[in-house]
Structure 1
Amino acid sequence: MQLKIPRPHIRVPQGESAFATGNARWTNRDLDPVPKHGRKWGAKSLVAYWISDALHASTWQFASGIIAVGLTYREAIGIVALSFFIISLPIAANGAVGAIYHVPFPVIARASWGFWGSYIAIISRVILALFWFAIQNVNGGNAVRVMIAAIWPSYLDLPNHIPESQGITTNGMVAFFLFWLLQVPFLCMHPNRLRWLFTVKSVLVPIAWIAMLIWAFVSVKGGGHVFAQQAPTVSGSKYSWLFLANMTSVIGNYATLSVNMSDISRYSRVNPRWQLLYIPMLPLIFTFFSFIGIAASSAGQVHYNLDSIPWDPLVLISYWPNRACRFFAAASFALASLGVNISANSISAANDFTALFPQYINLRRGQLLCAVLSWCLVPWKILESAGSFLTFMSAYAIFLGPIAAIMMCDFWVVNRRRYDCLALYQPNNPTYRFEFTVPGLGETVHGTNWRAVVAFLVGVAPNVPGLVNAVNPNVDVGVGIHPFQFGWLLAFFATATVYMALSWLVPAVETQVPRAVLCDEVYDEEGTVVDGVEADDEDRKDVLSSTKEKPGKDV
């Protein structure tokens, strides 16, 4: 008699909606449009989300690299404000698509790239999300390390058994693991249930940071040496190229959200026009919190008579004599890293993994997979040199700029805000099939919009010499380094121009639907109640029975 050992179900449950029936290769419950019953994010939640997203160690340190190359704090503040104004435009524009159609980034990408072509955008985005998740783990681990040291001072004296070349110590690795472990319960939660986390963070962390700003101006009159610098130490063309290079670095920090804001906005229950709030809000909040980093770090140098400015906030905190203050200040940075790691990184990566393997991965599994892979990236090695880290962020932004441009132009200009939501889940539907005959071969290819691929290559190509030099400084590319120094802007506008030109000269007429087909009317006509929904999917138990938008409305 053969003993049968039951095997766990590795496939994720498939929904029974009109979008998912017989289509397990391209969707599951977490990729289906969010029904009205599952849209929990109001205006306050969106504001709290962005305040929360701005609060992490990288925002505090934005100005450090800018000032280190010879620019003043005025240029640093101006670069941060200008960079976030620029990046807020595609964030708001692409986020509005999610708020209208209630689908995630990987599904929206099918409209402009095609079903198979969308993998170019998805894989490009998931790589950066993984790197950022890993890097925030290091930042959060460093905060936990300071917290433990405030309670147990001898913790820092633990014997180190890790080689110095690895860029981390034994006590640092322990703290890294503890912070990583702390995130796991939150990674298992549905985004709708994480609104409270972002709200708590948007209240507690600003209080701690503003208290540090007050300490800076009370403890040191004038704020420190940084504010005494009247003029930059560079001028002429060098000044211009440094300005552009640093602006590209700042934009690169939030390049992912310029393409994947819909992963959050799909849960919005408010008018899509609320996405416009990001345009004034993002420059204001990010610039303010960056200024706190400048003021507190500069004051710390003077107050503790240090040879260099302690740009790392956790280094500054470690000089405080009061152990309780050290603990709670470090706790604010741990909470900051926790919140942004989920809001900007793990949810994004999870949506990408879900789109790549919808039969086996849902949002929960995707976030846990992101957490596991973060160890493989050895992020402490990446952060060992701040210069190499900024170079990496600048380099990768050149790939995400074209993706954001294609999606933005396709929705707002080429298709005039009209998508067929149901066709985005039907690979055999002619609307987004993108069939074309390969010249010279006579073979018909489908699933990839060649216009998007060509525009993407045109946007990336001018930056390749600079990218090669960034990877290997020994390779001299001469003036070829300059396009790379404003790579995101160049890639974005070059791609947008080429994509719109190709769409005008050789239009994909099948994608230009006469009216927008919203998910609500599809649910109304063909949706069914989903049975067997898991506990954390209870927001999706009922499909829609009514909608504010009327069928056929030109949104």
Structure 2
Amino acid sequence: MALLANFSIDSSSVSSDSNTEHKTGRKGWTNPDMEPVPVHLRTWTTWNYVAYWFCDAFTPVQWELASTMIAVGLSWKQCLLVILFGQVIMGAAILATGTIGARLHIAFPVIARVSFGFWFSYFAVVCRVFASFFWFGIQTYIGSECTYQMLKALVGPAFLRIPNHLPESAGITTTGMLSFLLFWLIELPFFFVSPTKIRHLFVVKTVVVPITCLGMLIWAAVRVPPHISLSRGSLRGASPTPWAVVSALNSAIGCWSPMAVNMPDFTRYAKNEKAQYIQIVVFPLSITLITICGIVVASTTEFLYGEVIWDPLLVIDRWDSRPASFFAALSFALAVLGTNIAANSVSAANDMTVLWPRYINIRRGQVVCGVVSAWALCPWKILSSAPGFLTMLSSYSIFMAPMSSIMVVDYFIVRKCKVDISSMYEPDGRYKYWNGINWRAVVAFIVGFIPTIPGLVGRLDPSLSIGGTSHIFDFGWLYAYIVAAVAYCLLSAVFPPYSSFVTDESP
């Protein structure tokens, strides 16, 4: 019997039937980590999703979110409005894909086979793995900067006197490499923690890190009251162009675009579908709160140190109190650790289980991600010598947006929430389409992605004259998400993929 997934599906029957199928006929194409999550492992509650997003949001990267917007002329008030509006949009996109995972209890790489076709889904998976690998390495380097501040506070001036034995071409110093190694070793044990239990790390971070951020906010407000620092400093803004505002909105949205693709990796563990609905509220709220901390503290540093310092670790570096510096840096290290595990290593591991199901499970996938991202990619060299590459990496949102929207409209509109779970694990099953490729998804992806290319090229090489087409990139995520969704719906209406549809009469 086909397994039907709709609004009234009995989730326990999905789990038991899929496990039977795994034992009897599709062993080469799946493993236990790819199967629908059994009922006893669906342990994530509403509180866990609150903790998850506060865990992801409260990091040094999000602290600095408003900095680029201030640089193009937005005032701090405009920044907050743009960020809040952008995160509401992204929160809706995350909730949409997350609901699919919460209903089916299946990870993104398997769900993608329904929309893209069994074999073309691997393209989407590889794109997500690529983003996870590089961002894991970069976040690990940011974590090493936290470790550096901890060692400096713990050891004192003696740590700064450690001689540098690495050449300038290495892109990192001896103390920097030591900090990097220590933070990576701290991350290592968490690779072996099951996603069903890693939620406890999110809870701890949700308590510790916001307290630190609040402490820095109070410190800043006491030293220089916000009504002075924000009204008289350089964060008042100028007169941004409309395109600058649109670009800022796109930046606020785009930095979370991978999570709008693979949120099912986490909502699959939800106790029930309603448990993850809180994301639409807690996601924009958490991002906005950390942004407020960043704006107030940055405005204060202009009065205290004569320059606007957006990086919270550089603010900590200016403090005279070694205990305060140590515990603040420790909190931010915990922040980076939680985000790196949640958004990068677990996501990469879920994707790799599909690429090599016989050999890779979630634990092994996290180890592969941790080793390759940290040591093979050398993130310190990327950050020190390849600003153009980082621009391209930060533009991955134009790849992620069409993937997310195609999956959403395919499940909710085209298929009306009815899918055959068993066929998701069969290359010759219902989702084979044409040689494993759903050409509708291919065309929709191209229509959503290609027009943003000129703007991306212009960002990488400002000397090139791209003309007005560069503005499409300014709202690239919104363009790619909406256009790909509309194109896919139209193509599916004109050329319905009848053979992939599930009906009440399906065998």
TM over 0.5, shorter chain? yes
Does the C-alpha gap of structure 1 residues 234 and 368 become closer, same or farther in structure 2, counting only changes over 3 Å? Answer: same
Match of residue 300 from structure 1: 301
Verify the 8 A CA contact 2:117 2:438 in the aligned structure 1.
yes
SS in 1 for 2:106: coil
1:76-109 per-residue CA deviation (whole Å, 9 max, x = no partner) reads 1122111111111110010011111111000000
Verify the 8 A CA contact 1:417 1:516 in the aligned structure 2.
no
Q: Which runs of 5 or more residues in structure 1 are unaligned?
A: 1-14, 436-445, 518-551
- Alignment-mate amino acid for residue 259 of structure 1: V
Does 2:118 match 1:98? Answer: no
Match of residue 212 from structure 1: 216
CA distance in 1 between counterparts of 2:31 and 2:311 reads: 42
Match of residue 276 from structure 1: 277
Match of residue 413 from structure 1: 413
Q: Which runs of 5 or more residues in structure 2 are unaligned?
A: 1-17
1:338-377 per-residue CA deviation (whole Å, 9 max, x = no partner) reads 0000011100000111111111111011001101111222
Does the C-alpha gap of structure 1 residues 312 and 388 become closer, same or farther in structure 2, counting only changes over 3 Å? Answer: farther
- Alignment-mate amino acid for residue 434 of structure 1: Y
SS in 2 for 1:432: coil
CA distance in 2 between counterparts of 1:330 and 1:389 reads: 28
1:86-138 per-residue CA deviation (whole Å, 9 max, x = no partner) reads 11111001001111111100000001011101011101111111121111101
- Alignment-mate amino acid for residue 211 of structure 2: I
Aligned-pair CA distance for 1:180: 0.8
Q: What is the aligned counterpart of 1:490 among 437, 461, 479?
A: 479
Aligned-pair CA distance for 1:290: 0.8
Aligned-pair CA distance for 1:479: 2.0
- Alignment-mate amino acid for residue 39 of structure 1: R
Does the C-alpha gap of structure 1 residues 489 and 312 become closer, same or farther in structure 2, counting only changes over 3 Å? Answer: same
TM-score, length-scaled by structure 2: 0.92
Match of residue 239 from structure 2: 234
Aligned counterparts, 1:320-335, within 5 A: 320-335=319-334
Aligned-pair CA distance for 1:380: 2.2
Verify the 8 A CA contact 1:87 1:255 in the aligned structure 2.
yes
Verify the 8 A CA contact 1:116 1:447 in the aligned structure 2.
yes
More moved, 224-233 vs 145-154? 224-233
Verify the 8 A CA contact 1:224 1:302 in the aligned structure 2.
no
CA distance in 1 between counterparts of 2:50 and 2:402 reads: 27
Match of residue 121 from structure 1: 124
Question: Which has the larger helix fraction?
Answer: 2
Does 2:265 match 1:266? Answer: no
CA distance in 1 between counterparts of 2:252 and 2:371 reads: 27
Q: RMSD of the TM alignment (CA)?
A: 2.1
Verify the 8 A CA contact 2:383 2:390 in the aligned structure 1.
no
- Alignment-mate amino acid for residue 204 of structure 1: V
CA distance in 2 between counterparts of 1:161 and 1:397 reads: 39
1:149-202 per-residue CA deviation (whole Å, 9 max, x = no partner) reads 001122123222334455432211110111011111001111112121111110
Match of residue 392 from structure 2: 392
Q: What is the aligned counterpart of 2:176 among 158, 162, 172?
A: 172
CA distance in 2 between counterparts of 1:317 and 1:356 reads: 42
CA distance in 2 between counterparts of 1:319 and 1:501 reads: 57
CA distance in 2 between counterparts of 1:262 and 1:276 reads: 13
Q: What is the aligned counterpart of 2:43 among 40, 45, 57?
A: 40
Verify the 8 A CA contact 1:317 1:330 in the aligned structure 2.
yes
CA distance in 2 between counterparts of 1:497 and 1:413 reads: 11
Q: What is the aligned counterpart of 1:140 among 138, 143, 150?
A: 143
Q: Segments of 4+ in structure 1 off by > 6 A?
A: none
Does the C-alpha gap of structure 1 residues 424 and 434 become closer, same or farther in structure 2, counting only changes over 3 Å? Answer: same
The alignment covers a number of residue pairs equal to: 487
Aligned-pair CA distance for 1:296: 1.4
SS in 1 for 2:226: coil
Verify the 8 A CA contact 1:73 1:227 in the aligned structure 2.
no
Verify the 8 A CA contact 2:45 2:275 in the aligned structure 1.
no
Does the C-alpha gap of structure 1 residues 191 and 466 become closer, same or farther in structure 2, counting only changes over 3 Å? Answer: same
Aligned-pair CA distance for 1:58: 0.8
Match of residue 55 from structure 1: 58
Does the C-alpha gap of structure 1 residues 394 and 137 become closer, same or farther in structure 2, counting only changes over 3 Å? Answer: closer
- Alignment-mate amino acid for residue 339 of structure 1: G
Q: What is the aligned counterpart of 1:470 among 433, 454, 459?
A: 459
- Alignment-mate amino acid for residue 402 of structure 2: P
CA distance in 2 between counterparts of 1:78 and 1:385 reads: 34
Aligned-pair CA distance for 1:389: 7.3
Aligned-pair CA distance for 1:273: 3.0
Match of residue 5 from structure 2: none
